[in-house]
Structure 1
Amino acid sequence: MTDRSNASHTTLEAQTKRCASPAHPTRRGFGASLLGLALSAAATLGLAPAPATAQTAQPKLKVAAIYTVPYEQQWVSRIHKALKAAESRGEIEYKSSESVANADYERVMREYATGGSQLIVGEVFGVEAAARKVAKDFPKVAFLAGSSGKPQAPNFSVFDNYIQEPSYLTGMIAGGMTKTNKIGMVGGFPIPEVNRLMNAFMAGAREVNPKVEFMVSFINSWFDPPKAKEATFAMIDKGADVLYAERFGVSDAAKEKGKLAIGNVINTQEQYPDTVVASALWHMEPTIDRAIQRVKEGKFSAEDYGPYSMMKYGGSSLAPLGTFEKKVPPELMAKVRAREAEIRAGKFTVKIDDSAPRSTVK
């Protein structure tokens, strides 16, 4: 397990005190009388300095995060980024652990809870029961977990990557860019968090290209770029010319073979300027910022934060086309932008389909 502490020590502002009342004169005299008269006049006119109130800096919220994969993995990188942003603003003390094995997750979670963490964040898909047990044992600690399950009273909230809306839009782009009408899709595991994005992507592609076919494969790992790369090569050999990169490794294979790729969760176009056409981006800031605020207010409760990943809350978006700005047909982008506007206006709803997607290539 790799543990990186980003905690910053709470500082106490210096207390400033100003004396508002003059010292009593010890002997009578003309000078003392003048001083007394001057001070009395100043007080009457409201010019005397007011007593200062000692101000104490608000202690920063102690937040910890536990990740089962490296920080750079797409999903986790978004959570880590949002928490680092809150840390940089001076709102929180932030500690985190990456690449924590499922067998160690509960132990690390308990260490953070007993160590004074007020909010604990992480993805608990493989350790659901253990995480919920820890939450029960620490009812005064707030837990915000990536989970397919429901909130658990009183202190276990859940979130999810509901970025199916921009995924639909990237599907439209993919459907319009393929020349073979075959799109390859490589995912980690066929769980709701992956399935809903793939299904939305497929629906978007079909909207602009009813002839498109899909090859779907899961590598049964959250972080195995070589395995994802091999799965992609196999799809390219079968005619796929656009690849959906739900996992790392897909874009590498597409780049090597001169094919196109669609990104997921993060924008990797800078690394693949001639390969990644567009990406569905996830922004965790609305979710993280809300949780932090609720804890600070003493109002944190068990709730579903999933909706805060949707476009209307700023939780997701379609990445800029960048290097592909002039390569994607204008008429295609006009359709995409029109659909995007309808989504934002609430006039079009992208269906949430958590069922496992299937290959359609015969």
Structure 2
Amino acid sequence: MTIRRILTARLLGICTLAALLGLAPSLAAAQARIKVAAIYTVPYEQQWVSRIHKALKAAESRGEIEYRSSENVANADYERVLREYALGGQQLIVGEAFAVEAAARKLAREFPQTAFLLGSSGKPQAPNFSVFDNYIQEPAYLSGMVAGGMTRSNKIGLVGGFPIPEVNRLMHAFMAGARQTNPKVEFSVAFINSWFDPPKAKEASFAMIDKGADVLYAERFGVSDAAREKGKLAIGNVINTQAQYPDTVVVSALWHMEPSVDRALKLVREGRFGAEDYGPYSMMQHKGSGLAPLGTFENKVPADVVAQVRAREADILAGRFRVLVDDSQPKSTTAR
């Protein structure tokens, strides 16, 4: 027997043994895992970031990716961390670039072989810079309908982070939904100029409650705490916090990042990732958003309001109704 035949026989024997032991699939899976890094300027538990982190952790648990991430990265350090990940051979980098657009886009040009999927108010940048945001104005509208039906004072407060398009459009959609079920409703709007400052959001909420608001739109953490302390109601945003506030949070507009993440991973795997706007994949049609169950408020929301919400939800999914996108800064309508 020649040396080549001997080596071939041994190799076949090793492969057969690996297959019998169940090692071959795991080795193949390990080789197929995509290297993904994420950069977050706020803590993992912040609403917006938590949804991205959750989707990527799910892909990691399925064995699809090798996942690394950094939280609380200051804007001044963003470019440095981004560069370190790119130099480290990450195939896909995910994060938010709202305050560091120029730096992120510059890095993408320097590393054309790396796929970038970043939250951004701008457009995609060829060949490798895709953008996304939480286009959840549809469930925000539906949650507003619920709020309009639950207020007794006809005064609703909205507390947001910054008046950027991604926040403004949700507030406008919420307000339009509230007017749909309650044309008499008035709004107080405030921005705390921070993405994560629960005490500041709480104080802004107290001020609105003092002026008569009995339902609060919790775009930021801290709002629901104020509502609970004062015996008022809150409407959640991005995540469902009713379990933590069972007598306070009536319903929430949910964001699901999984459709966007799964699409990006598929394109990276196939070598077809390019410059694309992932915004539509956060809409209800793609299961990127939805209205949370009423849960503890199932029998507390008026039946006629629930019927209106379900009908409008069906119209949205069927394409018969479109929630308008208004990125302008919302204003208070209540008398100062």
**Which aligned pairs between 1:86-101 and structure 2 lie closer than 5 A?**
86-101=59-74
Tell me whether 1:269 sits opposite 2:264 in the alignment.
no
1:107 corresponds to which of 68, 80, 84: 80
Query: Cα distance, 1:17 vs. partner?
Result: 1.4
Identical-pair percentage: 79
Partner of 2:277: 304
Q: In 2, distance between residues paired with 1:112 and 1:150?
A: 23
Larger Rg: 1
**Which aligned pairs between 1:24-103 and structure 2 lie closer than 5 A?**
57=28, 58-103=31-76
- 1:280-301 deviation digits (Å, cap 9, x = unpaired): 0000000000001100000000
Query: Cα distance, 1:99 vs. partner?
Result: 0.2
- Opposite residue 116 of structure 2, the aligned amino acid is F
1:187 corresponds to which of 160, 166, 183: 160
Partner of 2:197: 224
Q: In 2, distance between residues paired with 1:16 and 1:359?
A: 74
Runs of 4 or more, structure 1, over 3 Å off, are: none
**Which aligned pairs between 1:152-167 and structure 2 lie closer than 5 A?**
152-167=125-140
Number of residue pairs aligned between Structure 1 and Structure 2: 314
Unmatched 5+ stretches in structure 2: 1-9, 15-23
- Opposite residue 246 of structure 1, the aligned amino acid is E
Tell me whether 1:335 sits opposite 2:330 in the alignment.
no
Q: In 2, distance between residues paired with 1:176 and 1:322?
A: 17
Q: In 2, distance between residues paired with 1:123 and 1:139?
A: 19
- 1:295-343 deviation digits (Å, cap 9, x = unpaired): 0000000010000000000000000000000111111100000000000
> Secondary structure of 1:63's match?
strand
> Secondary structure of 1:189's match?
coil
- 1:160-202 deviation digits (Å, cap 9, x = unpaired): 1100000000000000000000000000000000000000000
Q: In 2, distance between residues paired with 1:299 and 1:135?
A: 16
Q: CA 1:140/1:338 → structure 2, altered by over 3 Å: closer, same or farther?
A: same
Partner of 1:235: 208
Unmatched 5+ stretches in structure 1: 1-14, 20-53
- Opposite residue 279 of structure 1, the aligned amino acid is S
> Secondary structure of 1:96's match?
strand
Partner of 1:356: 329
- Opposite residue 81 of structure 1, the aligned amino acid is K
Tell me whether 1:17 sits opposite 2:19 in the alignment.
no
Query: Cα distance, 1:269 vs. partner?
Result: 0.2
Query: Cα distance, 1:59 vs. partner?
Result: 3.0
- Opposite residue 234 of structure 2, the aligned amino acid is A
Partner of 1:177: 150
Partner of 1:49: none
> Secondary structure of 1:17's match?
helix
Q: In 1, distance between residues paired with 2:11 and 2:329?
A: 63
Tell me whether 1:251 sits opposite 2:224 in the alignment.
yes
> Secondary structure of 1:64's match?
strand
- Opposite residue 123 of structure 1, the aligned amino acid is E
- 1:31-86 deviation digits (Å, cap 9, x = unpaired): xxxxxxxxxxxxxxxxxxxxxxx986133100000000000000000000000000
Larger relative helix fraction: 2
Q: In 2, distance between residues paired with 1:226 and 1:281?
A: 23
2:266 corresponds to which of 280, 293, 308: 293
Q: In 2, distance between residues paired with 1:159 and 1:297?
A: 20
- Opposite residue 96 of structure 2, the aligned amino acid is E
Q: In 2, distance between residues paired with 1:196 and 1:87?
A: 32
- Opposite residue 288 of structure 1, the aligned amino acid is V
Tell me whether 1:316 sits opposite 2:316 in the alignment.
no
